[in-house]
């Protein structure tokens, strides 16, 4: 279970970095060379998604909940904006949904 959560979290960080670097270039006038590590990060993201053992649709659905949680942490740690109570409640709802999808008993 812990290994699955860590893999989801690393996958989310790879996606966020891959999207954040072009944001820095487009919105903050940073170097277009940021697109190189952005592309590498998004390629890593796609590869990491393939490491999850569940069916692809289930992985993507559950990953969405973890992505929300990591994005809220990013908001706090990188953007320096403290999450509101509503951000935290939404994150909790998303992570609850992820846990239901990933850890529900399966008959396989």
Question: Consecutive sets of 10 residues in the chain, 108 residues long: mean pLDDT of each?
Answer: 83 94 95 97 92 77 88 94 97 92 80
**Is residue 108 assigned to a domain?**
no
Provide the residue range defining the domain that includes 86: 2-103
| Domains held by the chain: number | 1
Cα separations (Å) of 91 from 36, 64, 86, 98, 104? 31, 11, 8, 10, 19
Burial of 10 (0-12, 13-18, 19+ CB in 10 A): middle
Task: Report whether 38 contacts 17 (CB < 8 A).
Answer: yes
């Amino acid at each position: 279970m812990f290994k699955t959560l860590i893999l989801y979290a690393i996958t989310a960080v790879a996606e966020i970095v891959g999207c954040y670097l072009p944001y820095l270039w487009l919105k903050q006038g940073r170097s277009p060379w940021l697109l190189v590590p952005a592309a590498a990060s998004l390629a890593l993201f796609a590869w990491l998604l393939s490491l999850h053992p569940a069916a692809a649709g289930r992985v993507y659905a559950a990953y969405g909940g973890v992505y929300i949680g990591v994005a809220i942490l990013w908001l706090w740690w990188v953007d320096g904006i403290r999450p509101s109570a509503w951000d935290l409640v939404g994150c909790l709802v998303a992570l609850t949904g992820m846990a239901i999808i990933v850890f529900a008993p399966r008959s396989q």
